[in-house]
Structure 1
């Protein structure tokens, strides 16, 4: 049964990466004609409505989901995500989908590097080595002596760093708040910040582009819904490596629709980054399984000791 759920979770994650890659393509198309602030503002209107719908269906409803002991941190975390989306879409326009996704793929390794000092998680030397290898891959992509290295290359790098900090903050707030609360505050903070910013950049949109805008909002909602389902039926460590398929699908959309070129150094660097990330994820899963077995053995020994007869000497 578990294997069947894991397989379904993997396929759902692959579907999520395809949808998010399509979302990135639509975002780039709209951002080439309109300002990014307005696009993200409208997108967050739909996303926030979806977050409220999820919270309404959760145990306790919206009132319970709104309750948090760390509202400032929750709001700051959601704001960071909204700003990260803005930076990444700018990267799509300035650098293209292929190079942007290739550089952004470093974010899981940044999350792991931050998890040690921020969350106190134990990171072994093998995973620290994977972080170093991943950054070497980014250097190969950037190719300082020429090629993709430019000011535009800093946009996906900054976006990856912002998203990594956001990921660490999710782990931190999750120690006190459950998933519906965190998800709802993501929508609320994003819609507040982006409306305050985006309303000053409103501009008329052509009818056909409103259709693209609806498609953008639909892919955002559908992608998050399927991702929620994937994590609900399968372990995160089992399906997370397949999130790298977004790099593949993003490259396909970039080449086929926008005429992006996959440079040899970008392809090689992306393989290095993804390989390092997958290795780190697998090591994390091995360590988690090892710790679980150790905890189970300790519990069994404790139960056996408790059941043993007590002798008086």
Structure 2
């Protein structure tokens, strides 16, 4: 009789982590919709710079006990922190550029394979064990990507090529983040990333500065708020629940992409994109389940 309440208490942090993940995915989906709308009127480089510039004060406020200079001193892997920020800048720049013409759902169908790519890269660069079942899931995920891209049957196109490269860059960024997490606290990495992103983008963004319409200023502010809050909620979710618990719920971002793309831009993925995305998501969910089982066995 006592076991059930105890189990419920034990699972309470995980449920909170799942809820925060769902909220974060909604914020990211809305943020991508805003980015797609804004790059119709402004250079992608400007939108990217203003997004991180608007977000930085909120990040510093959220992590007020950690002064920016403290974060600089506390990191024990500054070069890796700098490298992961460079990967993230190029990745985000490619994605925002592709959003100008590419439907959100098509882009996120490719990005859904990221966890599987991280699994493969972790085997080679982090020395993590990957069993044949998860390798099979990785292979099925890539088959799903091939169905979406249909090489040889239709031209790849510049924007879809950008998304594929961006996905690989983001997967590498995730591996670097896991590597940095071995020596730096999550708050330190988050604050340092926000500062470095603004500093590096400030070397480029001002050169693309153009007059901004008054009606777009609230959208740019909202873009920064959603980015800062979404990443913060995701960090908190991972602090409350293991990644294998949180990861399956990140696929709800694809639902947001489909809904926002249809409601505001009139975009709907074709049948083959839907089939490929289903394979990618299914393979990712299976890989997450296998990881959960693997971690549960010693207990």
What's the TM-score, normalizing by structure 2? 0.92
* Cα distance in structure 2, aligned partners of 1:107 and 1:46: 27
Instruction: After superposing the two structures, state which structure 1 stretch, 118-127 or 84-93, moved more.
Output: 84-93
Q: How many Å apart are 1:283 and its aligned residue?
A: 1.0
Task: Decide which of 165, 175, 198 is 1:191's aligned counterpart.
Answer: 198
Asked if residue 205 in structure 1 is aligned to residue 207 in structure 2, the reply is no
Asked if residue 49 in structure 1 is aligned to residue 57 in structure 2, the reply is yes
Instruction: After superposing the two structures, state which structure 1 stretch, 115-124 or 76-85, moved more.
Output: 76-85
Asked if residue 16 in structure 1 is aligned to residue 24 in structure 2, the reply is yes
Asked if residue 100 in structure 1 is aligned to residue 107 in structure 2, the reply is yes
Task: Decide which of 175, 178, 186 is 1:171's aligned counterpart.
Answer: 178
Q: How many Å apart are 1:55 and its aligned residue?
A: 3.6
Q: Which residue of the partner structure matches residue 306 of structure 1?
A: none
Q: Cα 1:148–1:222, aligned 2, differ >3 Å: closer, same or farther?
A: farther
Q: How many Å apart are 1:101 and its aligned residue?
A: 0.7
Q: Which residue of the partner structure matches residue 116 of structure 1?
A: 123
Q: Cα 1:181–1:245, aligned 2, differ >3 Å: closer, same or farther?
A: same
* Cα distance in structure 2, aligned partners of 1:47 and 1:186: 12
Q: How many Å apart are 1:62 and its aligned residue?
A: 4.1
Task: Decide which of 36, 39, 51 is 2:44's aligned counterpart.
Answer: 36
Contact persistence 2:54–2:224 (CA under 8 A): yes
Question: Which whole-Å deviations, capped at 9, do the CAs of 1:44-93 have from their partners, x for residues lacking one?
Answer: 112332333344335xx544422222212211111211221111111211
Gaps of 5+ in 2: 1-8
Task: Decide which of 63, 69, 77 is 2:76's aligned counterpart.
Answer: 69
What's the TM-score, normalizing by structure 1? 0.88
Task: Decide which of 248, 257, 261 is 1:254's aligned counterpart.
Answer: 261
Larger radius of gyration between Structure 1 and Structure 2: 1
* Cα distance in structure 2, aligned partners of 1:249 and 1:31: 19
Task: Decide which of 214, 226, 231 is 2:233's aligned counterpart.
Answer: 226
Over 3 Å off, 4+ runs: 61-64, 145-149
* Cα distance in structure 1, aligned partners of 2:153 and 2:255: 24
Q: How many residues align?
A: 290
* Cα distance in structure 2, aligned partners of 1:192 and 1:88: 20
Contact persistence 1:141–1:148 (CA under 8 A): no
Question: Which whole-Å deviations, capped at 9, do the CAs of 1:86-119 have from their partners, x for residues lacking one?
Answer: 1111121131101111111111111111001101
